Copies of this chain bind each other. A is one copy, B any other.
Amino acid sequence: MSQENINSKLNFHVSVDCVVFGFEFGKLNVLLLERKMNYEGQEFKDLKLPGDLVRKDEDLDTAAARVLKELTGLDNIYLRQYAAIGTPNRLTRQERDMEWLRQIGHPEEVVVTVAYYSLINIDQERINKFELRDDAKWKPVSQISELAFDHMEILNDALTALRDELRFNPIGFELLPSKFTLSQLQKLYEVILGSTLDKRNFRKKVSNMPYVIPINEKEKGVSHKPARYYIFSKKVYEKTRKSSLDFFV
């Protein structure tokens, strides 16, 4: 391959985009950034996913973790790469997307992006470190119908990947505080999977999971029977998980 040929293929940006999920008050939320711009003489506002260009000296996972740290102040949050997208016109399908790239001084170049979703819960240990960027907002997933660029597709794919993983891996706990009630856990599954579950069967299943451990602590100040708290033990999970297959045994 000639040198010229190679250089004509060189001009890629590579970015990471992060779909940050949170779960609160029985709703699945996602962290989005406000995008403001002058467009056709008017102020135009919409929402986009947090993301950034990858630096030449960093790993993709490192870049995603850096974006999250800059966004939330938090380290060590659950991150999963689920797709890479390189559709040539993915940033320039809408006139206002092109205008925004011009206004922020970003060249209209092909950007291959690597998509991650992350799961965060703001529990007591971390709440003091948690500091959201000013332009970041939690939005209920159910109320988002449009985003900048191809970010709506990226979000939808993140949801699909999240559901797939939630079915087979104990990642739901990442979205709950370290102490949680079984009703919270059940609600989380119901909301993300989009179906209702039978309370007694759900609890029967949980009681067969040695890594979901009841602790001697109850809810306080609720005007009904207080629920017991449980914790998830990753250690016990690693030890006791059995490989199970669905399609064939």
Contacts and interface: CB of A to CB of B under 8 A. Distances in A.
Interface of A: 1-3, 6, 8-14, 53-60, 63, 81, 83-88, 104-107, 109-110, 112, 114, 166-170, 189, 193, 197, 201-202, 205, 244-249
Nearest to A85: B60
Copies in the complex: 2
Contacts of A13: 6, 9-10, 12
Contacts of A170: 247
A248 B189 contact: yes
A9 B110 contact: no
Contacts of A244: 246
B248 A105 contact: no
Contacts of A109: 10
A167 B247 contact: yes
B246 A246 contact: yes
A83 B83 CA distance: 7
A110 B14 CA distance: 11
B167 A246 contact: yes
A1 B12 CA distance: 17
A3 B244 CA distance: 52
Contacts of A167: 245-248
24 contacts: A1-B104, A2-B105, A6-B53, A9-B56, A10-B10, A10-B11, A10-B12, A10-B109, A12-B13, A12-B112, A54-B112, A56-B88, A56-B110, A58-B88, A60-B84, A60-B85, A63-B86, A112-B112, A166-B247, A167-B247, A169-B247, A170-B247, A201-B249, A244-B246
A107 B4 CA distance: 11
A64 B83 CA distance: 15
Contact of A193 (B3, B55, B112, B245): B245
A107 B170 CA distance: 43
Given A205-B248, A246-B168, A246-B246, A88 B106 contact: no
